[in-house]
Copies of this chain bind each other. A is one copy, B any other.
Amino acid sequence: MAKSMIVKKHEHDAGEVEFIHAEKAESVRSMMRSDDQFFRFAEKIKTLGDPTRLKILFALSQAELCVCDIANLLCVSNSLISHHLRLLKTMRLVRYRREGKMAFYVLDDEHIRNIFTEGFNHIEE
């Protein structure tokens, strides 16, 4: 109903953080990992959170493929595949080998291979 009325916050001693359920919350706090660990973990997961990259990884879990064939397979540009492969390479999820003017990529992460071979929609993260 009414809004923006005068507000007089309940003054609380210091600037200390107050939990409503102190015991439980403190116990959880003691289990918490560092910000950095959560951040890095999230970065790794993000790498997998894109349909195009998932397709690439799935394809590379089936066979060693050159950039060109991956692009045709997914019906997208060479350039796009190359961009994604760079990221996947940085994250050490794929490995590559040069042969003449071609570059052959393979999946280089057994955990991801398992996700795909173990049914895909079955485990589903």
Q: Which positions in A face B, CB cutoff 8 Å?
A: 17-21, 24-25, 27-29, 31-33, 35, 37-39, 41-46, 48-51, 53-55, 58-59, 62-66, 68-69, 72-73, 75, 102, 111, 120-121, 123-125
Contact = CB atoms under 8 A, between A and B. Distances in A.
Q: How many copies does the complex hold?
A: 2
Given A19-B69, A66-B20, A69-B24, A124 B49 contact: no
Most central of A28, A50, A53 by chain B CB within 10 Å: A28
Most central of A33, A69, A73, A124 by chain B CB within 10 Å: A69
Given A42-B51, A72-B25, A121 B37 contact: yes
Contacts of A45: 45, 48-49, 54, 125
Contact of A62 (B28, B44, B62, B121): B28
A53 to B, nearest CB: 8
The 6 closest A-B pairs by CB, nearest first: A46-B49, A45-B49, A42-B51, A38-B51, A28-B62, A49-B49
Nearest to A35: B51
Given A28-B59, A111-B125, A120-B41, A18 B72 contact: yes
Contacts of A63: 24-25, 27-28
